[in-house]
Copies of this chain bind each other. A is one copy, B any other.
């Protein structure tokens, strides 16, 4: 990253503004963002003004929300107006939602009447639904026109449309009747009717379909865009593949956060305040801490065992950690399988059987490792002591593999999101059962 900046610095004094502008316009949005983050305020706004009109608009939509607002304030009114005019309606609506109320008013006033109307229409919908992703600009035709007319229609005046590659066929009430790709249109004869060539069973999503389902549907059919309809099947807009890729990345981040015991949205680290960070992180830590203290009570109940065989205490962290790891593995595999649609609750028998075998074999292997390690390396246990630790580990690994697989299957079956059980929560449960198994096995084997 900083390489790019240093290289640019080296050359910048050799170039005039046009050269610099050309170089900047050839960089990708990610590269531009890197430069942006490296600059002070004055440099940043100068840099922005060197971009082409098209790149300005693109770059603005890629900026973090806080920076968007700053940028719109720091450039002059005419530039702002020009940029806002060029934004896709869905991006414009996103920006208007993101900026603070004070700035919003001046931005709103600089919009054209058409843009105001489109934005008002889009702001009615929930950001996380299909309608929150859609653009209201698409190509729509009647079914009775010919291919030649359609081509002519497209070639004239649809320059503002995000994608012209799908043409939607609607009736006079705007109800969706069919869809035809531009490809299909071009491959048809000039005199063919659109209505005869279109696909009538249109795959569409409802305005309130969750964005993740929109993404799955588009992926599933490998479409470039999906139409969004209301409950009367009236066409409201279309969602394009690039918005869907953003959704996939966003959901991915939220899943990963949940596996790291955090809730909430995919904020940018450096832009989250200390307090915002604590709000995101502390709830799960407190819940897990309180749940985890049940191990304290279990250890207390078995207190005499640990007091009379001190070597057992030495292996408490190893037992809980290894159980946690094997349980996390199982739950990760099952959660992913459920998310990808490879697994279902009715596979529970096959899953449990596999985890039984895998858990048992891995348990025996790991038990042997700990046995050998604790006899031959410090603290140099007696063999019978090492056996207690090793045999406990077999049961702990077996049990945690089974629990790690079972829990997400059951949660999924009950309609919950299995990622809540991933990682830390799973380890906490497994700590508890691990300590219980360990204490019980030790008690039996040592006849305490």
**A contact set with B: CB distance below 8 Å:** 1-2, 26, 28-30, 33-34, 58, 64, 151, 154-155, 159, 164-165, 182-183, 186-187, 201, 203, 216-217, 219-222, 224, 241-242, 244-245, 248-249, 252-253, 255-257, 259-262, 266, 268-270, 274, 277-278, 281-282, 284-286, 288-290, 292-293, 295-297, 299-300, 303, 306-307, 310, 313-318, 320-322, 324-326, 328-329, 331-334, 336-337, 340-344, 346-347, 350-351, 354, 357-358, 361-362, 365-366, 369-370, 373-374, 377-379, 397, 422-424, 427-428, 431, 435
Contacts and interface: CB of A to CB of B under 8 A. Distances in A.
A233 to B, nearest CB: 16
B322 A288 contact: yes
A408 to B, nearest CB: 11
A1 B342 CA distance: 11
A422 to B, nearest CB: 8
Nearest to A284: B325
A438 to B, nearest CB: 10
B159 A30 contact: no
A313 B316 contact: yes
A165 B154 CA distance: 14
Contacts of A321: 288-289, 292, 295, 320, 424, 427-428, 431
Identify whether the interface residues of A are mostly helix, strand, loop, or mixed.
helix
B354 A260 contact: no
A332 B260 contact: yes
A336 B251 CA distance: 12
B358 A281 contact: yes
5 contacts: A155-B186, A269-B342, A278-B361, A297-B378, A316-B316
A347 B38 CA distance: 10
Interface centre among A248, A303, A316, A351 (most CB of B within 10 A): A316
Nearest to A269: B337
Contacts of A29: 220-221
Given A248-B245, A261-B329, A317 B318 contact: no
A213 B308 CA distance: 58
A342 B37 CA distance: 9
Contacts of A58: 222
A28 B248 contact: no
A151 B277 CA distance: 55
B290 A314 contact: no
A289 B333 CA distance: 20
Nearest to A296: B314
For the complex of A and B, the 6 pairs showing the least CB-CB separation, nearest first, are A260-B332, A295-B317, A222-B242, A269-B337, A296-B314, A300-B379
Contacts of A334: 269
A277 to B, nearest CB: 5
A219 B245 contact: yes
A203 B278 CA distance: 42
B253 A256 contact: no
Nearest to A1: B344
A365 B290 CA distance: 13
Contacts of A292: 317-318, 321-322
A337 to B, nearest CB: 4
Nearest to A326: B285
A401 B314 CA distance: 25
A293 B370 contact: yes
A259 B256 contact: yes
B374 A296 contact: yes
B300 A256 contact: no
A349 to B, nearest CB: 11
Interface centre among A28, A333, A354 (most CB of B within 10 A): A333
A322 to B, nearest CB: 5
A391 to B, nearest CB: 15
A373 B291 CA distance: 11
Given A28-B220, A347-B270, A373-B293, A259 B424 contact: no
A282 B365 contact: yes
Nearest to A281: B329
A84 B377 CA distance: 60
Contact of A336 (B253, B350, B354): B253
